[in-house]
Chains A and B, each alone.
Chain A
């Protein structure tokens, strides 16, 4: 099929669990796991006569996310009921937003492998309640747990602006980074906090004519790997299918497929877009939401610098590599910690190295973020400055970092206590160099020979000086003295 020219077209529908303390319409605590039906009440079981009341925090989290996605916030929204029967949906309707979503027409900027970024347009953002969970491990029966029912769920729908599996993955990762920056979701994929549903088809050019393959929606993907792999699989599958059948997109031939993670294939779930009739209508139990300028301003003040913006700034202002900037901006705490240290006057690359080489290892062991090791940004900056000035060696800076995390003391205090300050006093070092040169005439001769042995001999002499000073000499200064003496 390689002779066919084609373009991959993918749009995403994403569901994100919001990290509120309680459910969307009742006060049940949101806890992952736990005994089945232990976090339920008459409202989320859908018992007779009980009524929903909207969680303000959930609404504000949704607004915050929509603002971060550059959306236009609606002046007026309402709640609608979407009707369908399913055991995990106790009222047999889902409270959602239909024709007046809380936000529309935004975009998300995603980083590409090339180092560039791309804007993917967002069609709409709306809030709805999640359903419970059905499990099918009881032989002829299914078991229903409603602990999850009523969890606030943000639905984000993009335009079909993605053109490769990697772009789809990049969007998923970027969205995770954004919602975590905003603190609106834990976005833990393993706990199902984010679920993705790509709509995939191909624009194939054959003999000068363009054909569109039927759209396939892959349901409920909950890992970045599955998102990327399923799109890649669909591309191959749709190419093969087109070659075989020549079928093209037509009204009503959108199909739904599931992802078989083990065999890495998509599996047909529903051949034809069934004529779903959800009978949406305004929920009479809830009143509309009207946006005020004052409220919106308050929410806007809670926005932070977005990860992609920070990442770009670290590259342009701090001259970090793409890779380093990406690592540092993966989490908001790390990025802000790094940024604060640099703003305290330290060299960016040096802070970056301290964090990525030593700090993250420590944080990993401690099971926390590097910013939570108990080290202040000022002390981190100080440490970086000491290393930059040659007051301490690279090995010593790692040791001091670890001690800082342990003792919360300042780096200069630790360096003094552990005797890790390097000697840079040229006068003092010169006398040590002289002693070493005098004791090693052969090496001096080799070093001065200019031949093959020069490098090795110089290294040997430097090593002797370091040994004599118990490693406290600044190797740069020693090297300079050696240069002078040996030339």
Chain B
């Protein structure tokens, strides 16, 4: 039987998630996730055509804050955990494709 999620798909998804998986991980995940996806197929036993999706358990809406300024972090604190910074910028290897995809 074909796997629910083959290695090519695992690689595609890992790329989307920016996870540099080893070949071994890809093979293992393909097997393990296929087993899990096989299990979750049981959801299809249920007819949910007329059921609303439930993303939030709480019947809450319209939670806002007023447009009032609160103190920002000291720049030093903001950068304290940065792996690399230059002056007060976060520093990363040069970004080549200017298009963010946004």
Contact = CB atoms under 8 A, between A and B. Distances in A.
Chain A in direct contact with chain B (Cβ < 8 angstroms): yes
Interface of A: 20-22, 26-29, 35-42, 45, 53-59, 78, 84-89, 92, 94, 131, 134-136, 138-146, 219, 256, 258, 269-270, 274, 276-277, 279, 282, 284, 286-290
| Interface of B (DSSP majority class) | loop
Interface of B: 16, 18, 55-56, 58, 60-73, 75, 78-79, 86-95, 98-102
B102 A21 contact: no
A193 to B, nearest CB: 17
A21 B67 contact: yes
A269 to B, nearest CB: 5
Contacts of A45: 73, 78
B38 to A, nearest CB: 23
A88 B63 CA distance: 27
B89 to A, nearest CB: 4
Contact of A290 (B61, B89, B101): B61
B54 to A, nearest CB: 10
A84 B101 CA distance: 7
Contact of A57 (B62, B67, B95): B67
Given A38-B75, A143-B91, A84 B64 contact: no
A78 B56 CA distance: 11
A55 B67 contact: yes
Interface core residue of A36, A140, A219, A279 (most chain B CB under 10 Å) = A36
B65 A55 contact: yes
A136 B62 CA distance: 40
Contacts of A286: 63
Given A28-B69, A86-B101, A269-B99, 20 more contacts: A26-B70, A27-B69, A29-B72, A37-B89, A40-B73, A45-B73, A53-B64, A55-B65, A56-B67, A134-B95, A136-B94, A136-B95, A142-B91, A144-B89, A145-B90, A146-B78, A256-B99, A277-B16, A286-B63, A287-B62
Contacts of B94: 136, 138-142
B63 to A, nearest CB: 5
The 7 closest A-B pairs by CB, nearest first: A27-B70, A143-B89, A57-B67, A56-B64, A144-B90, A86-B100, A36-B88
B15 to A, nearest CB: 10
Contacts of B69: 21-22, 27-29
A406 to B, nearest CB: 37
Contact of A54 (B65, B79, B91, B99): B65
B65 A142 contact: no
Given A134-B95, A141-B92, A142-B93, A42 B70 contact: no
B61 A143 contact: no
Nearest to B95: A142
A131 B89 CA distance: 15
B93 A131 contact: no
Given A84-B100, A287-B60, A42 B92 contact: no
B75 A28 contact: no
Contact of B65 (A56, A86, A89, A135): A56
A49 to B, nearest CB: 13
Contacts of B73: 40-42, 45
A136 B95 CA distance: 7
A38 B92 CA distance: 19
A56 B91 contact: no
A87 B90 contact: yes
A94 B102 contact: yes
Nearest to A143: B89
Given A53-B63, A290-B62, A35 B72 contact: no
Contacts of A276: 101
Interface core residue of B73, B75, B93, B99 (most chain A CB under 10 Å) = B73
Nearest to A88: B100
